[in-house]
Amino acid sequence: MLGEGGVVLYVGKSKYLRRRLLAYFRAKGRRSKAARILTNAVTIEWEYLPTEFGALLRELRLIKQHRPRFNHAMKSDEVPRGYIALTTGAVPAVHVLFRSDDPRAEVLYGPFRRLTSLAEAARALADATGVRDCNATKCIRAEIGTCACPTVSPSGGPARGGRNQESGGTSTSYSDRVAIVRDFLAGRTDAPLVMLRERMEAAAEAWEFERAGSLKAKLEQLTWLHGRLRKFRADVDRLTFLYRAEGHGGEARVYLVRRGTVRAEVPAPASADDERALEALARRVFDGPDPKGRDIPTHDLDELYLVTAWFRKHVDELGRTATWTDRTKIAR
């Protein structure tokens, strides 16, 4: 649905387009979302896709591209969920966010249902590394020496460095600390766990048992997060395959999925030349290092959820998937 000047107001999909559009025209009442969409729309455009999976994917990508105002008003999840993120900016921070498309996130992981546990783990990660989890312009923890972040001047640049008693002063630059957090979230290091364990053991040896107990609690919180992130990465790694979806009128499509996101799609091969073209495309998609890296980009999280939800709802469709090494049935 397009408004004045071609602004996209709403993106939707339907198996029965005529029936869906009639529902909009029959909508009544100013509180009706359909009526409000139609009041603001001046043009309706549509496109055809042969498979429901392809239509869902196209709908999601158009919504993320255009950010239509009426799609933003869609029902939110009944159960709150959060993500742990490393933010962008002059002084990156560890934050818990509540939207997978939050523009502040450089990388984020989730979702997590246990929001209290997630918040505690994020604080433990900040305590272990010295990366801030506070407001950039006024970091109270930097003032009292529990955060190593440089505070930010009103102009947006770093103003002065902080210090972190837990981290042993300012011997490690803030950018190095941020790199440790990024690698921890991506599964490339467990250094924050080692840091907390060493401090806990040192406190116990010094008979500082209250501090040792506090560090033990932080270690447990961060260990929980480490385990959840490891499971998340393992789940993502399993989502690499070719998927042949049978479409309307026999228009089958092949989707090439790598780490939970669709990297390419083509009509199902109908000849030897088509099979060779698919093989060449698959080699580019699946062989070698992932061009997107180990981190799941922020804008891909919702696509990952779409893929997992599709196969959870349509379990029989798993029989139409194949790994790159067992791709012969895709050509059938």
Q: What is the mean pLDDT of residues 6-28?
A: 90
Q: What is the mean pLDDT of residues 248-264?
A: 91
Note whether 86 and 97 are within 8 A (CB).
Answer: no
Mean pLDDT of the chain: 84
Phi-psi region at 5: left, alpha or beta (left = phi > 0; alpha = psi -120 to 50): left
Report the amino acid identity of residue 32. Answer: S
Quickly state the pLDDT bin for 327 (edges 50, 70, 90). Answer: low
95-154 pLDDT, tens digit each: 999 887 788 888 888 888 899 999 999 999 999 999 998 876 666 666 666 666 665 544
3-state secondary structure of 239: coil
pLDDT of residue 237: 80
**Phi–psi pair at 296, nearest 5 degrees:** -85, 115
Q: What is the mean pLDDT of residues 149-167?
A: 50
**Phi–psi pair at 85, nearest 5 degrees:** -135, 155
pLDDT of residue 289: 67
Phi-psi region at 307: left, alpha or beta (left = phi > 0; alpha = psi -120 to 50): alpha
